[in-house]
Amino acid sequence: MKGYILLLVCFFLGIVNTAGQKSVYPGADENTPSKAQYFSWINNTNEGATAEQTKINLAFFEWLKQEYGMQLDIYALDAGAIDGKRFYGSIYSDRFKKQFPNGFEPIYKQAKSMGVRLGVWGGADGFGNTPEEEQARIDEMVKLCRDYDFALFKFDAVCGPLRPEKEDAFIKMMEKCRKYSPDLILLNHRLGLDKGKPYATTFLWEGYETYIDVFMTNNSTAPHHRAGALSRGLPPELKRLTEDHGVCLSSCLDFWEDDLVLQAFNRSLILSPELYGNPWLLRDDEFSQLARFFNLHKKYGDILVNAKTLPKSYGPHAVARGDEETRFITLRNLGWNDTSYVVNLNNELGLSAGEKVTLLQLHPSEKVLGAFNFGEKVEVTVDPFRACMLLATTAQPDEPLVNGVDYKVIRDIEGEPVEIKLLGMPGEKARIRLPQNHKYSKVLLNGRSDTRLVKGKTVKVNFEGKELKKDPHRKLAEMKPVSKTGSEEAFYEATVFAADNNALEVRSLKRSGKTDIPAVKAARNAFFNQETFVERGIWDKNLFDGDMTTGFWPSEKYKIDQRVKGGGFRLDLGKVMYLDELIIHVPDDFSLQPLLRGEGNYVEVSSDLQEWKQLTYIAGQEMKIRLEEPVRYFRFKDFPQRIVEIEGLKNGVKVNNDSWRASNLFAHPDNMEVQRVWSASFELDEIAPNSYMCVALKGKHGVEGAYAAARIGGELVGAPDRAVSYPSNTWEYVNARRDENYTYYIPVDQEDVGKKIEVFVMGYDKENLQFSPEVWISSYPVPSKSLKLELIK
């Protein structure tokens, strides 16, 4: 019935003409409102999803809907569910039945109960070599739409090209599928279609994936990893029937919200907001913001299809979306300093004349900028390397509003109290009030009823903490060339011991911390405990879990060795310890290579990264290193390729090793000859919460050609993070390698106020020593304090 109705609509729109010569309706057009999608790439790789993991992931999105009202439209199973890389599969195959023992029926029912439809990755062919095989493929894909109401096919040439002689079969398949799913979206990923091209809904814009620091990296120095993503432009002619591959939430998560704002409200393609990877790796306090963006996009989806580019005075790639009454304006700043733009509240934005224009900021925080006369100019400041989203309307804004303060809407579900987090810098005082025409009968401020706000009166609020005298984001120093100090090796070791070579997702888990949300915990566990993740040996904790079947070893996926100049194995005990011996286990002689059983080898040990002592041990499946003095750090130039366990003994008893850490990709210092050193020295009289120093190396320094570290109050302090990311034993594909514009991040806190801070950069590539280092300080999250406001109708 729904197919017949859509056919009638298409007839009246002229998509099917009266002469009987049909023009293909490809599931959507430029005016079709966006669909919010998640797809499972990077949650699983080419081995494919399983029914159990998919159920757990769907339960996460169900929790988001229950908790925050967030509605996902499409959940797409990516590579490996049916088809895979270089092969075509079947829902009747043993492989599929192993992953989905009861077929798609259970997850279809679960998704449907949430208002979500399924999609799947595959290839455009699979029609075999006989008429029977061709019909079987057609019937199988049609079944997905007829029986399971599939909303999306993502066809990728990775699976295999569409043979020219099978293009008619492809067209036949798509026509039959759309009889049951008339709005079926077909994503064209490099297929090279000819006469089948009209059946595809989209093309892959720029050909990018957005896995941060794997497929997408910064192209400049920046205070975070997503500056490259924020610099993406606009599709040709603002076409919405393209795909930008969405926002990957799996690695390098800081400032993800700016990335999503631009994807959803600036480009606003047919799939928006679009996520992939592991969104459950966000912090617990970030899920409300994720839902807020989805909810805003759903609410205004009908008008977000209309867009116009704004003049260059609005900055790079600025866009206004909406209708004559309401416009969403997205701005960005791709520099290190604040930038102000003048917003003209007139038809330049696409607004029609009205008496007043209310201007709101919706990101990075929400605030009422004011009510202005039509045609007035308003200056708006955008923070460094951030996006900004505004809403300008000549109508009464249909959003929770609080005058006088920045805020974030945490929960806004029909029939329930509106929960808002009021935001202010430490020590800030503000005067807040609700709009005179508000619709609330009761207001709670930090849990206490406040009748003054109900009556529209102004109320003073104070945010705890000491007032900051300086901008949390500011430049600290230019770095100058200096003579070698003799401590360069110690600085290098401080940073590589502070860093790690774990999978990028492990770094995201550490960044976000533990969760108190059962659905989030279940999704995280499903990801990290899946067989393929564990068996790839990409997390150092496998060395300290008491399990001889798990381990940690250098990845050589796609025959790409991630080791820097041969690598080196490092072990950090977390503190100076008195051990009698350290025992390293490998499963067999093959895993022991390049070491050979029975031969002597060397390890270097230290308690402070400055003085190192060499010890000898005998290679074998169980290697015992005798220790006669307290140590913390171990450094191996040559090491086994597959280590499965490391333990320490004191008086014959195994010591606790829960806090031990290891890395296996960073170069040994013997292979890192310092060519030049830069330094800057200063003291900080104020450090905001969540602060870190950014050591920006502007220019070309070579791949892994420069490292940074600091001495704070006489103590060595390494940089645990860097953009582009340090080499990792990556979950999917390999880390991106760049030869310019690294930015090192060194955390600082209140305890460092007043201490002498010396920052050092070591250049190792003698052909690339003309870069210019400088030091900034920044903070994330913004170091604001908060108060809770509840609005009850």
Q: What is the pLDDT of residues 720-757, one digit of tens each?
A: 999 999 999 999 999 999 999 999 999 999 999 999 99
Q: Please, are residues 159 and 193 in contact by the beta-carbon 8 Å criterion?
A: no
* Pairing outcome for strands 459-462 and 429-432: antiparallel
With 50 as the cut, is the pLDDT of residue 90 above it? yes
From residue 581, alpha-carbon distances to 206, 589, 591, 612, 664 in Å are 55, 22, 22, 17, 21
What is the C-alpha to C-alpha distance for residues 634 and 429, in angstroms, rounded to an integer?
51
CA atoms of 583 and 622, how far apart (whole Å): 7
Please tell me the distance from the alpha carbon of residue 785 to that of residue 267, in angstroms, as a whole number: 32
Residues 6+ apart with CB under 8 A from 635: 493, 568, 569, 570, 603, 604, 605, 606, 612, 668
In sequence order, what are the residues at sequence separation of 6 or more whose Cβ sits closer than 8 angstroms to the Cβ of residue 356?
Answer: 371, 372, 373, 374, 394
Q: Which H or E element spans position 358?
A: strand 356-363
Distance CA 410, CA 30 (A): 32
Helix (H, G, I), strand (E, B) or coil at 8: helix
Token pair listed for 164:
């020219």
Instruction: Write out the two tokens for 676.
Output: 């030049």
Question: Shortest CA distance to 708 belongs to which of 528, 527, 494, 530?
Answer: 494
pLDDT of 367 > 80? The answer is: yes
561 or 247, greater pLDDT: 247
Q: Environment class of residue 259 by beta-carbon count within 10 Å: exposed (0-12), middle (13-18) or buried (19+)?
A: buried
Q: Are 514 and 637 in contact (CB under 8 A)?
A: no
For the four alpha carbons of 54, 60, 63 and 68, in that order, the dihedral sign comes to negative
CB burial readout 9-40, b (16+ within 10 A) else e: ebeeeebbeeeeeeebbbbbeeebbbbbbbbb
602-660 pLDDT tens trace: 999 999 999 999 999 999 999 999 999 999 999 999 999 999 999 999 999 999 999 99
User: How does pLDDT run across 11-40, given as a tens digit for each residue?
Assistant: 333 344 433 446 899 999 999 999 999 999
- Rounded-to-integer distance, Cα 698 and Cα 222, Å: 10
Strand pairing class (271-277; 35-39): parallel
Find, among 574, 534, 538, the residue nearest to 656 by Cα: 574
Stated as kind and residue range, the H or E segment containing 400 is: none
Cβ atoms < 10 Å from Cβ of 485: 14
- Averaged pLDDT for residues 109-135: 97
Cis peptide bond upstream of 364, omega within 30: yes
- pLDDT the model gives residue 151: 98
Q: Has residue 758 got a pLDDT over 60?
A: yes
pLDDT of residue 204: 87
User: At residue 531, what are phi and psi to the nearest 5 degrees?
Assistant: -55, -45
Q: Which candidate, 162, 156, 170, places its Cα nearest to that of 203? A: 156
- Read off the tokens for 160: 């295999």
User: And the tokens for 432?
Assistant: 């807040």
CA distance 13 to 163: 33
- pLDDT tens, position by position, 36-77: 999 999 999 999 999 999 999 999 999 999 999 999 999 999
Residue 576 sits at φ, ψ, to 5 deg, of -65, 130
Q: Tally DSSP H helices, then E strands, for the chain.
A: 15, 42
Tell me which amino acid residue 790 is.
Answer: E
Antiparallel, parallel or unpaired: β 271-277 and 247-249: parallel
Instruction: Please tell me the predicted confidence (pLDDT) of residue 20.
Output: 40
Beta strand extents in 511-618 (DSSP E only): 569-577, 581-585, 600-606, 613-618
Whole-angstrom distance, CA of residue 553 vs CA of residue 540: 8
The token duo for 707 is 């490292």
pLDDT at 120: 98
The secondary structure element, H or E, covering residue 168 is helix 167-180
pLDDT digits (tens, 9 = 90+) for 514-560: 999 999 999 999 999 999 999 999 999 999 999 999 999 998 888 88
> With DSSP H G I counted as helix, E B as strand and the rest as coil, what are the percentages for the chain, rounded to 5?
25, 30, 45
Residue 368 C-alpha from the chain's centroid = 29
Q: Distance between CA atoms of 257 and 666, rounded to whole angstroms?
A: 31
C-alpha radius of gyration, the chain, whole number: 29
Quick check: 734 and 562 in contact, CB under 8 A? yes
Quick one: pLDDT at residue 685? Answer: 97
Q: Residue 192, Cβ neighbours under 10 Å: how many?
A: 12
- What are the DSSP E strand ranges found in 145-267? 152-156, 185-189, 202-203, 247-249
> How far, in Å, CA of 198 to CA of 171, rounded?
9
Residue 119 in contact with residue 144, Cβ under 8 Å? no
Instruction: Judge whether 444 and 793 are in contact, CB under 8 Å.
Output: no
CA–CA separation, 367 and 405 (whole Å): 6
Instruction: List the structure tokens of 23.
Output: 């023009």
Backbone φ and ψ of 228, nearest 5°: -65, -40
Supply the pLDDT for residue 191.
85
CA atoms within 13 A on the CB side of 650: 9
Residue 22 has a pLDDT of 63
Domains and their CATH numbers in the chain = 24-299 (3.20.20.70), 307-468+784-792 (2.60.40.1180), 474-500+672-779 (2.60.120), 527-561+569-663 (2.60.120.260)
CA of residue 439 relative to chain centroid, distance: 37
Encode pLDDT of 680-732 as tens digits.
Answer: 999 999 999 999 999 999 999 999 999 999 999 999 999 999 999 999 999 99
Could you identify the residue written with the tokens 């399924």?
118
Contacts of 694 (CB under 8 A, 6+ apart): 221, 222, 223, 743, 744, 745, 775, 776, 777, 778
Residue 723's nearest CA partner among 259, 190, 216, 270 is 216
Q: Which residue has the tokens 């008339």?
A: 182
Are 362 and 295 contacting, i.e. CB atoms less than 8 angstroms apart? no
